[in-house]
Structure 1
Amino acid sequence: MPEMHFTVRWPDGTEQTCYSPSLVVREHLTAGQRYPLPEFLQRTHTALSIASERVRAKYGFACSRAMDQWAEIESQAERHSGSPQAEVTVVHLDPA
Structure 2
Amino acid sequence: MPEMRFNIRWPDGARDSCYSPSLVVKDYLVPGARYPVDAFVGRAREALTVASERVKARYGVPCSLALGQLRAIEAAAARQPPDPDATVLVETFEE
The aligned counterpart of 1:61 is 61
- Which consecutive segments of 4 or more residues in structure 1 shift more than 3 A? none
Q: Distance in 2 between matches of 1:55 and 1:84?
A: 35
What is the one-letter code of the residue matched to 2:42?
Q
Q: Distance in 2 between matches of 1:11 and 1:81?
A: 8
Give identity over the alignment, percent: 49
Q: Look up the SS of the partner of 1:13 in the other structure.
A: coil
Q: CA RMSD in A?
A: 0.8
Q: Distance in 2 between matches of 1:11 and 1:57?
A: 35
How many positions carry a matched residue from both structures? Answer: 95
Instruction: Give the conservation status (yes or no) of the 8 Å contact 2:12–2:81.
Output: no
Q: Look up the SS of the partner of 2:88 in the other structure.
A: strand
The aligned counterpart of 1:75 is 75
The aligned counterpart of 2:84 is 84
5+ residue gaps in structure 2? none
5+ residue gaps in structure 1? none
Q: Look up the SS of the partner of 2:8 in the other structure.
A: strand
Instruction: Give the conservation status (yes or no) of the 8 Å contact 2:48–2:67.
Output: yes
Q: Report the alpha carbon displacement of residue 81 of structure 1 after superposing the two structures with TM.
A: 5.5
